Structure 1
Amino acid sequence: MERKVLGALCACILMLVVGIAGCTGTETPTTTDTGAKQTYIIGIDAEYPPYSYLDKDGNAIGFDVDSAKWIAEQQGFEVKFQPTAWDGIIPALQAGKIDMVYSGMTITDERKEKVNFSIPYWQVNQTVAIHNDTAVTMDNFYAGTLIVGAQRGTTGQIWVEENLIDSGKMPSENLKLYDSFPLVAADLQNKRIDAAIYDKPPMLDAIADKPAHIIGEIDTGEVYGIAIRKTDTELLETMNEGLTKLMADPYWEELKTTWDM
């Protein structure tokens, strides 16, 4: 028995000497066996300027994209960006198709049941926009008398459902849902809907070249965070550390200026 124990101990020592990690039971989180950096796939809404969208060549750009790249460089990993349908982005995360969602995602109690969130990095409110040729007001909106367009899966949809439909002010069929907000903006331009609801910065971008304007802002006090699988606690810690560094670095102010935040 002593010979077997001694033999196993010697074998383990030999494996450590020649660089085989089998006896240690540990892994380096940001490198692969070949020494290459770990690559994380980030799910984004590809039509969500200024946070995340695609340029004319199909490359991901935006405030969140640049933030993620900076954190990756500082924390020692690589990132790839995967455009994903917003209403399916959390299921994609849970299924392992992406490693995180870094694309202006509001932290909500419902979402926290499914994923973990990083520390908040941005605050935003909802806004309501109408066509320039119409004279409806926020009073009409709050009364539930308008046909309202929203992107499916967004907090704009959730706000209308919880505050207008569930209260009985607005019939559910008056809320029109779309796969992306550019489709909402197009229908607003063509007067197929009376109003649109969306986060303020992307709303401004979406209607900039259209005959539409914002008539009101809803003080929802939403905060954005990075969504990560509940099992990936080490990645969550890494991203929290990266966000803390970023928001304390002069580059944070540069980012806000670059993306007109």
Structure 2
Amino acid sequence: MSIRRNAAAAAIGIAALLTAFGAAAQTKAFDLSPEQAGRVHTTRIDAAAASIPAGFKFVKDGVFTVGVSVGDPPLNTYATDAKTVIGTDADLASLVAEGLGRKVEFVPVAWDDWPLGLTSGKFDAVISNVTVTEERKQRFDFSSYRQDVLGAHVALNSPIKSIKEPKDIAGLKVIVGAGTNQEKIVLEWNRQNVAAGLKPAEFLYFEDNGASLLALQSGRADVEVNPNSRLAYSAAVGGKTRQVGVINGGWPLTAEIAITTRKGSGLADALTAAINGLIANGKYAEALARWNLTAEAVAQSRTNPPGLPKV
């Protein structure tokens, strides 16, 4: 899974949520202010700071410069001032910077442009929902920090209790994104079900998040399977849906989201140490819980973990 929307699309996404749930509900659920008074902080993590290679040169002295592709909340989005970057990944970037004894600075970048920006030295790292793949590992180093997770969400009054394996979607009307990794997964699940003599699923496609929500509430759809981060945020903001399962985005393999750095720069080990320090001191869990993404936590950060294979 990867965020590919630009700033304008991010604004549309926020507006759609405001329309669907009401401004008061969103303000109550999450802090979208530029001040971010509730952002989690940490002290310097000595083991991480000591792991920075002696010859590594940061973009700016005393600063950890991070490239971000700004999309829908709760990952990287804009605050109510339409310019301050906030969200789960922004919080993680801030914590890692503090762990290294540095300040954080964000550089918004279009999704397609982050590889060039990173290799050319425009920023020290990219923290923007990047999935580890074996192909990407040929060009970049990684420090894992979240599971790549899809969520299965239903209306609050739905009788559905669990969506975790192929048979669970048999005969259901499933909302999924067209041309996405999650579509590939549920289509394969459906293929297996039909081969086993189970009822086929029906797949529904909506461009608008609000339309998907209305389809679930009206009974036109039974379940939505899409990136867990967006669905979990929507559930917390509106209180009209609930999670009935999570599916790894690499199914049947395991995929992880990671901080991305230049290949061979040596910074990845320091970032991995910083994340593990945050896991140990509890700040990592606090940051995920703040945006309702506890389900995506990893037990341990790893440098260059196994990635999804080349297609």
State how far apart, in whole Å, the 1-side matches of 2:90 and 2:78 are: 10
Q: Which of the numbers 279, 293, 296 marks the counterpart of 1:247?
A: 279
Question: Structure 1 residues 41 and 68 mapped into 2: Cα distance closer, same or farther (>3 Å)?
Answer: closer
Matched, 1:207 2:235: yes
What's the offset of the Cα at 1:189? Answer: 5.1
Q: Which of the numbers 176, 183, 198 marks the counterpart of 1:149?
A: 176
State how far apart, in whole Å, the 1-side matches of 2:116 and 2:71 are: 20
What's the offset of the Cα at 1:80? Answer: 0.5
Larger Rg: 1
Structure 1 unmatched ranges of 5 or more? 1-25
Deviations for 1:163-218, whole angstroms, at most 9, x for unmatched residues? Answer: 3368877999936375x866754664576654311344542321341643334444
| 1:94-243 equivalences in 2 (<5 Å) | 94-96=115-117, 99=123, 100-109=125-134, 112=137, 115-118=140-143, 120-123=144-147, 125-131=149-155, 138=163, 142-143=169-170, 145-150=172-177, 153=180, 155-164=181-190, 174=203, 176=205, 178=207, 184-185=212-213, 188=216, 193-200=221-228, 202-208=230-236, 209=238, 211-218=240-247, 222=254, 224-228=256-260, 231=263, 233-243=265-275
State how far apart, in whole Å, the 2-side matches of 1:181 and 1:101 are: 27
**Partner of 1:159: helix, strand, or coil?**
helix
Computed over aligned residues only, the root mean square deviation of the Cα atoms, in angstroms, reads 4.4
| 1:5-24 equivalences in 2 (<5 Å) | none
Higher strand content, 1 or 2: 1
> What is aligned with 1:12?
none
State how far apart, in whole Å, the 1-side matches of 2:72 and 2:136 are: 21
State how far apart, in whole Å, the 2-side matches of 1:185 and 1:233 are: 44
What's the offset of the Cα at 1:68? Answer: 0.6
State how far apart, in whole Å, the 2-side matches of 1:159 and 1:113 are: 25
State the TM-score, normalizing by the size of structure 1.
Answer: 0.60
State how far apart, in whole Å, the 2-side matches of 1:96 and 1:67 are: 20
**1:55 partner amino acid:** A
Question: Structure 1 residues 173 and 236 mapped into 2: Cα distance closer, same or farther (>3 Å)?
Answer: farther
Deviations for 1:19-72, whole angstroms, at most 9, x for unmatched residues? Answer: xxxxxxx9651255xxx44553322453132x4333222322233212211222
State the TM-score, normalizing by the size of structure 2.
Answer: 0.53
**Partner of 2:151: helix, strand, or coil?**
strand
State how far apart, in whole Å, the 2-side matches of 1:200 and 1:41 are: 23
Q: Are 2:215 and 2:221, in contact at CA under 8 Å, matched by a contact in 1?
A: yes
State how far apart, in whole Å, the 2-side matches of 1:222 and 1:181 are: 27
State how far apart, in whole Å, the 1-side matches of 2:140 and 2:206 are: 24
Matched, 1:67 2:99: no
Q: Which has the higher contact order (CA 8 A, sep 6+)?
A: 2
Structure 2 unmatched ranges of 5 or more? 1-53, 295-311
Question: Structure 1 residues 254 and 148 mapped into 2: Cα distance closer, same or farther (>3 Å)?
Answer: closer
